Amino acid sequence: MKSICKRLFLVTLMTIGAIAFSFSTMAGGHLKGELEIFSWWAGDEGPALEALIDLYKKQHPGVKVINATVTGGSGINAKAVLKTRMLGGNPPDSFQVHAGQELIGTWVKAKRMEDLTPIFKEMGWMNKFPKDLINLIGTDEGIWSVPVNIHRSNVMWYVPANLKKWGVKAPKSWADFLSIAPKLKAKGVTPLALATNWTANHLWESVALGVLGPDKYDKLWTGELSFASSDAQKVWEMFGKILMHTNTDASSLSWQQATDMVVNGQAAFNIMGDWAAGYMSTTLKLKPGKDFGWAASPDTGGVFMFLADSFGLPKGVTNRDNAIAWLKVLGSREGGDAFNPLKGSISSRLDSDLGKYNAYLQSAAADFGKNRIVGSLAHGVTANEGFMNDFATVMGMFLKSRNAKQGSMAAQAIAIQNGIATK
Amino acid sequence: MGFKRDQLIAVLMLLPSILLIALFVYGFIGNTVYVSMTDWGKDAALALDPVKNFVGLKNYADLFTGFLDGRFRQDLVNAVFYSFFLVAGSLAFGLFLAVLLDRNPKGERFFQTVFLYPLSLSFIVSGTIWRWLLAPDGGLNVLPVFIGLPKLEFQWLSSLETTLTFNWQYLPRLLVIMISLVVLVISLFILGKGSRKTGAGVGILGFLLLAIGIFGKDLLPTILFMEEIHGLNMATIGIIIAAVWQYSGYTMALFLAGLRGIPRDLVKAARLDGASEWQYYRRIAIPMLKPITLSAVIILSHISLKIFDLIFAMTGPDNVEAGHPSLLMYLTTFRANQFAKGASIAVVLFILAAIFIVPYIVSSYQGRKAAEL
């Protein structure tokens, strides 16, 4: 009886699946023309994008996909090209953008994006993505992009065997870190590896989250907590203390070189987003969990600071239907699971097939499901592009002056200038 | 009748290029100046019809005296040092190489190519190479190890040290002192020419300015409410070395052509009169290179304002220590979406370039006129 039930159930499932499949092919079959996708995913990330495009082509064989990439780390060049194209009235059908304020502050405020809420409702995505995430990629007026992947920013990396050799443990708090740092230094080891200036911004956000806690951290970005407040000043003080235990040649190094320092045993820890896991497991062929270990950055256990790449739909594009079909592929379970294992990130959906991911990504996905989620500053979630640009300048000044008061005052001034805080 | 038709044809032939230049060069310069006097860059800077309010010279005032624009001021100071060292370094090395090659050593052709070759590389390529050469734990710093010396510890591009510092608050006083020194030099020059009265007058003016600059602490305004120290950042030195490396071959070629252009009989006459090598170069060859030096200075100084790609390749966008206004303009405009402020930086750069170029154009125009007469 039981087995018949099971079989019946399976058969129904399969028929539903088959019908759904034929439906989707029928629906997609009539799409024709072109689709231009604009991104900065060349190089290491190219194959992941190709996997998505292949999936799209399978569903919509009639569409010719134009893959327009402009290289350059975190899209510095691509964004400039995109701006000239948008200003010139020649938007690509869909473009890559960091989810959150980087999109909202620049393009949504300029009224150049279409609201994607209807697509989210039609596809039933409203409860497929975490609620915190949908809040962060939307405003009161709508939802503005489809997130393709999730990276975690607040991760501390280390080599377990080395820590054992040096007789230290991964610190749970910054106070712990400061107490073990002299011990490491005495052994000729750099306590914390740091790289070029944007990684200082990256470290700062993890320190800020640790010092302030998620509630106050969120309030920084709504303007409820002033950057000049004594709380925020404590972030800069702690940040300055941590910088004392970093390598002096930081600004000459790429983030990969900072990771290398940890892998080679020159440094004990490194705080970097989880693309570092991709670098270590894919490029350096290290085994996650065995050859390298990780923990939430100090004082941020139970909080997941995320950043996401996403695609939006500009107004007035030539191939709107094709672009919408593209967004539907991106938000689908298959789309997420085709792209992310290759990219080294987790799917933004709550129902992804974890079997396809490696040990690190599985643990990240587990945290993503149950942790408090906050947005990253250095990667465009919490603040608009104006603030991010000015913050890089403030950081440059601080790296030289190490003056916490000046740092927090300047941060407040740029927050006012960029409309995040009001006096 | 024929004359008129000739004129008409001339006008018609010139018209397209005049129109195109008027629109695409001067029209856009004008538009940039206009944008720099607006506040374009608030909330929805990239809207189809962005809000632009006229704010006059506010952006410029912010750049030079605003709390948040310290980066621009450091970049401007950097730009002065970049220009000075690029021009001086390339001229010195170029002249040195040209004199060496002028003496017809063996393999002269080969060395000529070798020295000129860096010029054919783009700044991006040479910048990337130099970035590796100047890495703190590789390249130049480990060279001494091969001959048994300790490794160099200089941090090159990531150095945070500064020398020759001054306080930006007192910029007006510094400018007055600099002007007074120029005036004093001019007065000496006039005195040397024999007109004592005007010379003395100009001299007194110079001393007066100097006194105001040094003692007039309260007479001249401080332009910033807080102390702000700028100076020669050591991080720029690596970039200067790379730029000089790339351009000294070019000045070498210019100087070598100049040296080869000196009439042979002049050389022979000098030899017959018993001039030593040193005397020949010091008294005859180098003075004759003056016009070439002038055009080399003009060309190099405006190249030094276009050093953007070299810096971008060597340090990336946010190495504030080694920045340049052109880099800041790009970031302000295309990363921060502050179009008005970006435009005002562009205008400052434009004026800087004009300071170099306009005297050259005027002098060459006068030269041509004189030649026609």
Task: With beta carbons under 8 A apart, name residues in chain A contacting B50.
Answer: 110
A299 touches chain B (CB under 8 A): no
Alpha carbon distance A367, A302 (integer Å): 8
Q: How far apart are CA A201 and CA A198, in angstroms?
A: 5
CATH number attached to the domain at A32-151+307-375: 3.40.190.10
The amino acid sitting at A292 is: F
Asked if pLDDT for residue A24 goes beyond 60, the answer is no
Which residues, other chains included, contact A78 with Cβ-Cβ below 8 Å and sequence gap of 6+? A38, A39, A40, A69, A70, A71, A72, A96
Nearest to A281 by CA among A293, A295, A299: A293
Interface residue A30 vs chain B (CB under 8 A): no
In this model, does residue B228 exceed pLDDT 70? Answer: yes
CATH architecture under which domain B58-161+234-372 falls? Orthogonal Bundle (1.10)
Q: Where are the alpha helices (DSSP H) in chain B?
A: 2-21, 28-36, 58-65, 70-102, 108-116, 123-133, 171-193, 196-215, 236-261, 264-272, 277-279, 286-288, 290-304, 308-315, 325-334, 339-372
Helix axes B58-65, B339-372, angle to 10 degrees: 100
Which residue's entry shows tokens 């408090």? A372
Which of A66-80, A315-329, B17-31, B336-350 shows the lowest mean pLDDT across its residues?
A: A66-80
Predicted local distance difference test score (pLDDT) of residue A30: 76
Residues of chain B neighbouring A251 (CB-CB closer than 8 A): 157-158, 315, 319
Rounded to an integer, what distance in angstroms lies between the CA atom of residue B286 and that of residue B282? 6
**Rounded to an integer, what distance in angstroms lies between the CA atom of residue B317 and that of residue B197?**
55
The whole-number average pLDDT for the span A373-385 is: 92
List all residues 6 or more positions away from B331 whose beta carbon is below 8 Å from its beta carbon.
Answer: A389, A392, B317
Cβ of residue B344 closer than 8 Å to a chain A Cβ: no
Q: What is the mean pLDDT of residues A388-411?
A: 90
Give the model confidence (pLDDT) of A312-344 as tens digits: 999 989 999 999 999 999 999 999 999 998 888
Contacts of B44 in chain A (CB under 8 A): 109-111
CATH number assigned to the domain covering A152-305+379-417: 3.40.190.10
Mean pLDDT of A118-126: 93
Contact A249 B137 (CB under 8 A): yes
Res A26: pLDDT: 45
Tell me if B46 and A86 make a contact (CB, 8 A cut-off): yes
Tokens of B60: 């410029």
Candidate from B137, B315, B338 with C-beta closest to A386: B338
pLDDT value at B209 more than 90: no
Rounded to whole angstroms, the Cα distance separating A381 from A221 reads: 10
For chains A and B, CB pairs below 8 A equal 106
Query: Chain A interface, mutation test: which of B158, B161, B308, B315, most A Cβ atoms within 10 Å?
Result: B158
What mean pLDDT is reported for chain A? 89
Asked if B315 is an interface residue toward chain A (Cβ–Cβ < 8 A), one would say: yes
pLDDT at position A23? 46
Tell me which residue in B43, B68, B131 faces A109 most closely, judged by beta carbons: B43
Domain residue ranges of chain B, discontinuous segments joined by +: 58-161+234-372
User: Looking at the predicted structure, is the pLDDT value of residue A195 above 50?
Assistant: yes
> Is residue A21's pLDDT more than 60?
no
Strands A63-69 and A146-147: unpaired
Burial class of residue B10, CB neighbours in 10 A (0-12, 13-18, 19+) = exposed
- For residues A53 and A73, what is the distance between their CA atoms, to the nearest angstrom? 22
Least confident among A137-146, A264-273, B274-283: B274-283
Q: Where are the domains of chain A?
A: 32-151+307-375, 152-305+379-417
Identify the helix (H) or strand (E) that includes residue A33: strand A33-39
Asked whether the domain spanning A152-305+379-417 has the same topology as the one spanning A32-151+307-375, the reply is yes
Q: Which residues of A touch B335 (CB under 8 A)?
A: 76, 79-80, 385, 388-389
Check B157 against A251: CB less than 8 A apart.
yes
Asked if the Cβ–Cβ distance from B335 to A80 is below 8 Å, we say yes
- Verify whether the Cβ–Cβ distance B71 to A80 is below 8 Å: no
User: Where residue A15 falls among pLDDT bands split at 50, 70, 90?
Assistant: low
Helix (H, G, I), strand (E, B), or coil: what is residue B220? coil
Q: How far apart are CA A409 and CA A232, in angstroms?
A: 10
Q: Which residues of B285-319 are buried (b: 16+ CB within 10 A; e: fewer)?
A: bbeebeebbeebbbbbbbbbbebbbbbbbbbbbbb
Q: Identify which of A259, A219, A204 has the alpha carbon closest to the alpha carbon of residue A408.
A: A204
Give the contacts of B211 (CB within 8 A, at least 6 positions apart).
Answer: none
With 0-12 CB in 10 A as exposed, 13-18 as middle and 19+ as buried, what is B261? exposed
Cβ neighbours of A85 in B, within 8 Å: none
B71 touches chain A (CB under 8 A): yes
* Lowest-confidence segment of A13-27, A265-279, B103-117 by average pLDDT: A13-27
- Chain B residues with CB-CB distance to A400 below 8 A: 160, 320-321
Does A76 sit within 8 Å of B46, measured CB to CB? no
B371 touches chain A (CB under 8 A): no
